[in-house]
Structure 1
Amino acid sequence: MTAIDLNSDLGESYGAWSMGDDTAMLAIVSSANVACGFHAGDPAGIWKTVKAAAEKGVSIGAHVSYPDRVGFGRRDMDVTSSELIADVIYQIGALKGIAAAAGVSVGYVKPHGALYNRIANDAKQGQAVIDGIKAIDRSLTLMGLANAPILELARKSGLNVVAEAFADRAYTPDGQLVSRREAGAVLHDAQLIAKRMLQLAHDGTLEAIDGSTIKIDAQSICVHGDSPGAVAIAQEIRRAFEADGITIRSFLSA
Structure 2
Amino acid sequence: MAETDIRESNTRESDTREFVELEFTKLSKLVGSIQPLLELINLWRILGYGMLFLALLDIIEMFVPPNFMNPSWEFQTMGRLVNQVGVPLIATLFVFSGKLTKRSKWELPVLALLSRLTLLVALLYILLIPLGVFNTVRLYNTNLEQIKTGYEQRLSQANQVEQQLNKTSPVEIDNLIKSQGGSLNGRNAEDVKNQIISQLTQAKQQLKTQKETNQSSVTVNLLKNSVKWNLGALVSAALFITIWKETRWARKKAG
TM-score (norm 2): 0.21
Q: Flag the structure with higher strand content.
A: 1
Greater radius of gyration (CA): 2
Higher relative contact order (CA 8 A, sep 6+): 2
TM-score (norm 1): 0.21
